[in-house]
Structure 1
Amino acid sequence: MSELYDIEARTIDGETVKIGDYAGKVILIVNVASRCGFTLQYNGLEAIWNENRDKGFVILGFPCNQFSNQEPGTDEEIKTFCSTRFIVTFPLFSKIEVNGDNQHPLYKLLKEKDPGPAEDVKWNFTKFLIDRKGNVVKRFQATNTPRQMEPDIQALLAEA
């Protein structure tokens, strides 16, 4: 079993869950922000989630305020913004840090296991694609739209 599955995180509603609750699914982990130039990606993320969730795909959104103070709200404010402005239905988690001394253990592991260059998250809407076995397969930068990631997502969904 993947180390990833042992990590716990708090949902935006305050419930503690293990990433292992999503074991066997293709997972896209995204650090999100509501006042970012990339915030409109919520629309594309929600579309891909709706099109593929019945095939074993899930998006996990982690609000982060480390980049130009673009996610200053409380968890409740973030939840309200996402549910009313973008009708986000994929799982959202409590606000975390993705870099530095206070980074969440999830992001520490994602960066360690990233098959690309080992580096900090550079901006909001950086995405990590995880296969059904819990392996970090690829990192997408903020400039990669959800539709640009779709071939990689579909390839993982096709694997048994």
Structure 2
Amino acid sequence: MGLKEQLTEDMRAAMKARDEVVTGTLRMALAAVGVAEVAGKAKRELSDDEVLAVLAKEAKKRREAEVAFADAGRAEQAAKERAEEEVLARYLPKQLSDTELVELVTQTLAAGGFSGMGVMGPAMKAVQAAVAGRAEGGKVSAEVRRQLAA
């Protein structure tokens, strides 16, 4: 069973259980997947990796919205965004801890022979491939920049 089918099954189960947060979140996620499928020249079925990318993007939107609502003093709306992000997190790969990220970046830079800020682009490409969606791009970029500058 593919990830999209799993999302659909879980949404149906949440509907039967009358779990509004999970139902709404999965409905939104499936809508985002549907939009991604029809984007471009021809409608096509997304692979599981592409569906994961869409879910990661949606989870990031929820985290950013939570911070914005919290900063604006809207705690109830921030809690709703946090709950939605937690539902999406169930389908995403386990995120790397800061220590694991530092180790992974160090190993990848050493293996590729990257040094100096002039190779930031190729270094980021190599590290992003090694990270494979298990850390946010901003955190990865900051760590790569820190290690290349050292």
**TM value normalised by structure 2:** 0.22
Q: Which has the higher strand share?
A: 1
Q: Which has the higher helix share?
A: 2
User: Larger Cα Rg: Structure 1 or Structure 2?
Assistant: 2
Higher relative contact order (CA 8 A, sep 6+): 1
**TM value normalised by structure 1:** 0.22
